[in-house]
Homo-oligomer: A and B are copies of this chain.
Amino acid sequence: MSAVDTVFLDDLRAIFGDRFSISEALREQHGKGESHHTTAIPDAVVFAETSEEVAQIVRLCAQRGVPVIAFGAGTSLEGHLAAIRGGISIDLSRMNQVLRVSAEDLDCTVQAGVTREQLNIHLRDQGLFFPIDPGANASIGGMAATRASGTNAVRYGTMRENVLSLTVVLPNGTIIKTASRARKSSSGYDLTRLFVGSEGTLGIITEVSLRLYGIPETISAALCSFDSVESAVSAAISVVQLGIPVARMELMDRGLIAAVNAYSGTSLKLADTLAFEFHGSPASVNEQVEMVRDIVIEHGGKDFEWATSPEERNRLWKARHSAFYAVVSQRENAKGWSSDVCVPVSQLSECIVYTRGLLENCSVPAAILGHVGDGNYHVVFAIDPANAAEMDEVGLINKKMVKKAISVGGTCTGEHGVGTGKIAYMREEHGVAVDLMTVIKNAIDPLGIMNPGKMLPQD
């Protein structure tokens, strides 16, 4: 399948020395993400350190028609990293410099391999933060490439809203900047947004300029228990519809709370739960809390349990972020499979009820969680990929969830991306617009070397 031969590999080794590797273990690690998808190992891994090096590798690959797959932190959940046609994995983790921070403009530029935790540690002393938080300590480049979002999106938006510009290596090795540093512009096609979410299929993101925010004067977090997932969701919908600017509003079902307590050693109350975080001035946070409290009580929720100190808050969100691993750890040698749909908020209750129905007789551990303020929710399953019956069972539930979401005007992926995992639903969601995506792909990557076999169906 692969166009890679030893001469080509020798060429790369000659240029990159010990930053070139064909180690089996390393290639294996680079051919998979964190979920159940099948590993497909690349022919070699190269650790790039500059945009120019990435361009050099891409040019060499283009000359030989060799596939190129960008690798950041390896936290993909939809099979983006599988080298299904072989090729070169370009590891960007050494491109980990924060290149520029402007407190005046509330923006920064980082290399693609910088992780979100690294960035926030870097920013903290200047009173700034970058809010997009998908849970995993993903690379900023990877987050841009999958249009990631996570717990803060209800207030701060997703990578779509928070990437100002990108440096991208195109499939022919040209390096472009997608936009100026101006906050807004009407100058030409929105190349930034074209590459945000393009999953490495149009080029390789090597630098990212981001919007930053001042660390809020006041941050409060609280948990609130409900009698059912449905009441929790109804409360969340009311909060959205009243336009209350909560920073986080996360649903965790009872099963997830149990898994998290076991995994993280927390003692969260065992119930279907909404976790809130409020950002703002003291007065504004107070106001938000009062409004949300009224809504919660109206929907039968118990009063807030507060996590006010930074330590308590960190523990709470760390526990929340461990959800995927917590569910997976409920079973020995299991892998995680996280479904990921997003629907209009008005359709969320119906979809969650439907999903709970699907899970009633599910034979593997499964928990519902979600960024319900955006209409985005997940079921995390702990599965044994070697067990075909299980894979079929979970695959069917996933499929039904996706089809339901699309049928109510939603999307097959709210934040994880398409990769290989959602290709089958692209036509159903987008109709003939998929053909336009293919036109764009073929025009920009005529050789088809950029992360082939991902995102776009070959029908």
Contacts and interface: CB of A to CB of B under 8 A. Distances in A.
Looking at A102, A146, A149, A188, the one whose CB has the most chain B CB atoms below 10 A away is: A188
Contacts of A415: 184, 186
A419 B197 CA distance: 28
A443 B414 CA distance: 28
Interface string A423-454: 00110011111111101111110000000000
Contacts of A182: 342-344, 375-376, 405, 409-411, 414
A418 B242 CA distance: 38
A153 interface: yes
Nearest to A215: B243
Nearest to A145: B186
A177 interface: yes
Contacts of A442: 443
Interface in A166-211: 170, 174-191, 193-194, 196-198, 202
A185 B433 contact: no
Nearest to A176: B433
A411 B187 contact: yes
Copies in the complex: 2
Contacts of A189: 194, 197-198, 202, 437, 440-441
A346 interface: yes
Interface size class of A (residues with CB under 8 A): 35 or more
A369 interface: no
A241 interface: yes
Contacts of A426: 187-188
Interface string A140-181: 000000111100010001101100000000100011111111
Interface stretch (A26-34, A249-257, A270-278, A281-289): A281-289
Contacts of A148: 186
Interface stretch (A62-70, A103-111, A306-314): A103-111
Contacts of A429: 180, 187-188
Nearest to A178: B433
B432 A176 contact: yes
A170 B436 contact: yes
Contacts of A105: 344-346
Looking at A214, A242, A413, the one whose CB has the most chain B CB atoms below 10 A away is: A413
A325 interface: no
B178 A160 contact: no
A186 B413 contact: yes
Contacts of A187: 411-413, 417-418, 422, 425-426, 429-430
A241 to B, nearest CB: 6
B436 A440 contact: no
A404 interface: no
A374 interface: yes
A155 to B, nearest CB: 11
Nearest to A196: B190
Given A105-B345, A284-B284, A444 B436 contact: yes
A455 interface: yes
Interface of A: 102-107, 146-149, 153, 157-158, 160-161, 170, 174-191, 193-194, 196-198, 202, 213-214, 237, 240-243, 281, 283-284, 287, 340, 342-346, 374-376, 405-406, 409-418, 422, 425-426, 429-437, 439-444, 455-456
6 contacts: A102-B344, A105-B345, A177-B430, A188-B430, A189-B198, A194-B440
Given A189-B202, A213-B243, 13 more contacts: A104-B237, A105-B344, A148-B186, A157-B161, A178-B433, A180-B406, A183-B375, A188-B426, A188-B434, A190-B196, A191-B436, A283-B283, A283-B287
